[in-house]
Amino acid sequence: MKPDSSKLSSAVRLALSIGAAAIAGVARSAEGPTATGNAEQLAQTFETIVVTGSNIRRVDTETANPVITIERAAIERSGKVTLGDLVQDLPAVTGPYTNPRVNVGGGTGASTVSLRGLGADRTLILVNGHRYLYGDVNAIPAAAIERIEVLTDGASSVYGSDAIGGVVNFILRTNYQGAEFAANYGISDRDDGQRVGYHFVFGQSTDKGSILAGVDYNKFESILASNREFSKNAVYYYYGTAQVNGGVRATPAGFIQLPEQLRKQFGCPFAATLKTLGQISNPPRLEDFRCFHPATDLYNFQSLALELTPQERSSLFVVGNYKLTDHVEAYAEYFHNKTQSAWQISPSQINTFGGGMVISAQSYYNPFGVDYSADSFIFRTRSLGNGNRIGNYSTQVDQATAGFKGEFDDGSWQWNAYFNYGHANALYHTSGYIDVSRLGPGLGPSYKDAAGNIVCGTDPVVGGTGPIAGCTPFDLFDVLDPGTVAALDAASGNKFTNTVYVERSVVAEANGSVWSLPAGAAQLAVGVSYRKESGQTIPDALQVQLDICNTSTDCVPPTVPIRGAFDVREAYAELLIPLLKDLPFASALNLTVGDRYSKYSNFGNTNNTKFAIEYRPVDDLLLRGTVSAVFRAPTISDLYAGNSAGGGSAIDPCFGLVGTNAACVGVPGDGSFQPVPDPITGMTTNGVAAINKGAIPAGSPIGPEIGKSFDWGFVYDPRGLPGLSVGADLWRVYLDNVVGRLSLQSILDLCYLENGGPYCHLIHRYTVLGDLHAQLQYVVDPIGNLGRIDVKGTDLNAHYRLPATALGNFALNFQATYLDRFANDPAPGLPGDVVQEYAGHYTNLFSASNSANYSRWKALANVNWNLGAWRAAWTLRYIGKFKVGYARLDYNESACDNGLNGPPGCELKYGGSVYHNITAGYDLEQFNTRIDAGIDNLGDKSPPVIYMGNTANGNVDANTFDTIGRFYWARVTVKF
């Protein structure tokens, strides 16, 4: 850190600590996040509104739909500058989601939302009730948001595809008068992860209309893994022992397998390495090398990774409306976001194993006298002189909506018609990867000619063929040599991929009273829409040709161009029927029925219905229940996906085979086939990391995911205790025909158990390579409608605004979610199918870089206080205990290095984690200025170490837990 930055950060840290201690306050605002149980927030206006989860306008804010509302005051006082940081704290968000803490498998700067643990693809994101085409909620400018409504119930009958786990609706600010400027600064307790930002908002409102415009900017500096104790080393868990400096054998000094004679000469059990990196003779001599010692020579690749990826966001937004007549209004909404982000990992591995590279025994630079290739001796190194592997993203998102709305029939009916357009453009640039197949004859044979030049080819003086034109030999045993660096650069190069996604939709809808009943007027909402989605991935020529598969853990297959589109026509109707009102034991009883018909160009039609009941036996108590059909249409990526890297791990069912089986072609049937022992540790490899070499052909038929969503709950607002609201909901979602890649284990098991069948052709084994003969080489894992998911749990919430006191106003908020079940059935009805239970577990079955934590309990609580110009808050976020790995052997997921170097059935247990955030603020009314400051992760709590192999991100679950540590921030807001 530069000296001036260090002084500034120290001053900020001191000021914030003193302010926090003096006020003893905490994290979010007195307003919440809260459930909509506090009807006083909106219903006092007696104005009909549309609450997320329904298209019907109502006075009630407590309905059959379980909705959590986060008001603007809560957003401001949290200190969060991106919406993902705020929404991901909610207990209902769990499972597979990403954020900027994720480096491996991330780096896009994106934060996604996974309600009910069902993944971002099954959580619908809306902006002002309109579909948002891009999953990154960080791209939505926080300064433009009035409130956030989170529906924790399936809503396909209301919104169509994707609304399975729930809906997150970002409501834009309107009718703002004046101008506002805010600047913020933050930095971690370790003087890194610096954050700077500002926003400017201007608004003007009249009787005829209003306009709001603004800019929003924020920038986060990266945090190196080496700057955190828990992530500075690669830590593995082998056979019940944590290996702190685990690392890998692909080290810059080299891992060089020795022939038997040289092993004896060196006194080595297996391999040699350079004595001193960067110090080597020309040509290299045996004296330059020594034995490779696993305890000291493994390469710590982890120290060069990131615990927070760099991000820079710039946003522009405009929201306006204008009354054309007393009954017709025109409106428009637009926002633009540009995000620059990146990831970083250690220099590329270079490996003769499986990569098509040969270091000739006759190379001028090879002192060992043997070939190093996939068919002979092992050689591994790392391109240290060429720098780290880096991926840079430049992402632009534009979302625009324009339309007309109005009323008729004396205001009893409202109508709305609009056009919605979304465009996302992501340019992805990678550097630092080496394609060993392009290294060519520079690795030998080579010799020194009569003029003293080192040339490619064989020496004609001893009967060779002479030099090879256009070839320059280089010394791969010295990765810092300029000639070697140049050769590796030539085999690398910068590679670009451009992804474009466009969504267009036209919507017309109306709602109003249809007939009067004794209990009130029945309300109807109807609508029609047309939507077209199109997308393409355009790799450059190098990306199309690239096939870097040095090892199963360092593989980048060719990028296949993707292009596809589909359209959908939909119609919906939703009817609210008041059945009873103001009767004994029936203060109110309402029934809502809804249906949406969707016709897709790529798979046909689907119909999704909803039934919801609201019952108030007394005014204080609401009992509610909803049953609805849900579905998710396959995306363009699902339909047209090409190759992808890395398929995970699996246990080969052919080990110890006696006899024959179609899954084991080429495997000896005498029981002698066994896993290959690790040449260094001697440990038996119980599994194999297989490589995905492709997907199903483009355009192959994939149908929608279909299922049901259930929610039963209550909200209690006792009149005798004003300001108190408590509630609970029991919920369940099940989903059939789940779209995904069939797991490697399932493919192997299905082929083996059926002794043939449609999955056997996906398995490929080595036919040569000595000890590797018949071992798994790669497995093609296709995309299709493959499985079933069943998930259920309970939501709890309580909110209490205490009566005013001389010491100020206090409010308490509490939310919690208990995950009772998350069952994944990858191949229902097929032989060998095993239903795996994720509840209470962290799993990397989705891949170590796209893991998921399904802790049974997650909770969020805050205490809020204000007195005059002062306000403060204290927030506690709880993540419950969880397990890594499974004791059950048939789950094939072990915590001991994911089963690759440890026994199956290895299970680790972890306790719960509590994070404390505090904030405090003061209004300088005479200057129209507000000062806020806070400390996130007050206790500087480190994430639990779950070990490499279970995760690809710094030994920890970076998706779920904080990797930054104690973080100080301050903001100044001036209003004009």
* Predicted pLDDT of residue 123: 96
* Predicted pLDDT of residue 902: 62
Over residues 216-244, the mean pLDDT reads 90
* Predicted pLDDT of residue 495: 85
pLDDT tier for residue 181 given thresholds of 50, 70 and 90: very high
pLDDT tens, residue by residue, 285-336: 999 999 999 888 999 999 999 999 999 999 999 999 999 999 999 999 999 9
Over residues 695-711, the mean pLDDT reads 74
Q: Which of 147, 157, 91, 168 is nearest to 729 (CA)?
A: 91
In angstroms, the CA 266 to CA 272 distance is 8
Over residues 120-139, the mean pLDDT reads 94
Over residues 349-374, the mean pLDDT reads 88
What percent helix, strand, coil does the chain show, rounded to 5? 15, 45, 40
For the chain, the average pLDDT equals 87
In angstroms, the CA 474 to CA 454 distance is 9
* Predicted pLDDT of residue 694: 39
pLDDT tens, residue by residue, 741-774: 777 777 888 788 888 887 888 888 888 766 678 8
Q: Which of 274, 301, 311, 310 is nearest to 290 (CA)?
A: 274
pLDDT tier for residue 695 given thresholds of 50, 70 and 90: very low
491 pLDDT more than 80: yes
* Predicted pLDDT of residue 935: 98
* Predicted pLDDT of residue 512: 94
How far is the CA of 642 from the CAs of 108, 424, 544, 737, 741, in angstroms? Answer: 20, 20, 11, 21, 12
pLDDT tier for residue 826 given thresholds of 50, 70 and 90: confident
In angstroms, the CA 646 to CA 633 distance is 26
Quick one: how many helices (H) and strands (E) in the chain? 10, 51
Residue 920 tokens read as 């405090």
E strand or H helix that includes residue 17? helix 3-23
70 pLDDT more than 90: yes
What 3-state class would DSSP assign to 243?
strand
In angstroms, the CA 58 to CA 643 distance is 49
Over residues 911-930, the mean pLDDT reads 96
pLDDT tier for residue 895 given thresholds of 50, 70 and 90: confident
551 pLDDT more than 70: no
* Predicted pLDDT of residue 28: 33
Residue 551 tokens read as 């090892």
The percent of residues in the chain predicted with pLDDT above 70, rounded, is: 87
pLDDT tier for residue 779 given thresholds of 50, 70 and 90: confident
220 pLDDT more than 50: yes
Q: Among 147-151, 225-229, 658-662, 900-904, where is mean pLDDT lowest?
A: 900-904
pLDDT tens, residue by residue, 567-580: 999 999 999 999 99
Residue 177 tokens read as 């008068």
Q: Is the pTM of this model over 0.75?
A: yes
3 pLDDT more than 70: no
* Predicted pLDDT of residue 22: 37
* Predicted pLDDT of residue 948: 87
pLDDT tens, residue by residue, 428-441: 999 998 888 788 89
Over residues 165-191, the mean pLDDT reads 95
How far is the CA of 347 from the CAs of 334, 479, 491, in angstroms? Answer: 42, 11, 14
What is the SS3 string spanning 611-676? EEEEEEEECCEEEEEEEEEEEECCCHHHHHCCCCCCCCEECCCCCCCECCCHHHCCCCCECCCCCC
**Type of residue numbered 481:** D
In angstroms, the CA 653 to CA 656 distance is 8
The answer to whether 373 and 352 have CB atoms below 8 angstroms apart is yes
849 pLDDT more than 60: no
pLDDT tier for residue 898 given thresholds of 50, 70 and 90: low
What 3-state class would DSSP assign to 490?
helix
* Predicted pLDDT of residue 781: 73
Most confident stretch, 231-240, 651-660, 867-876: 867-876
Phi and psi based region of residue 484 (left: phi greater than 0; alpha: psi -120 to 50; beta: remaining):
alpha
789 pLDDT more than 80: yes
pLDDT tens, residue by residue, 71-96: 999 999 899 999 999 999 999 999 99
* Predicted pLDDT of residue 31: 40
pLDDT tier for residue 29 given thresholds of 50, 70 and 90: very low
870 pLDDT more than 80: yes
Q: Among 365-379, 837-851, 890-904, 938-952, where is mean pLDDT lowest?
A: 890-904
pLDDT tier for residue 2 given thresholds of 50, 70 and 90: very low
pLDDT tier for residue 926 given thresholds of 50, 70 and 90: very high
35 pLDDT more than 60: no
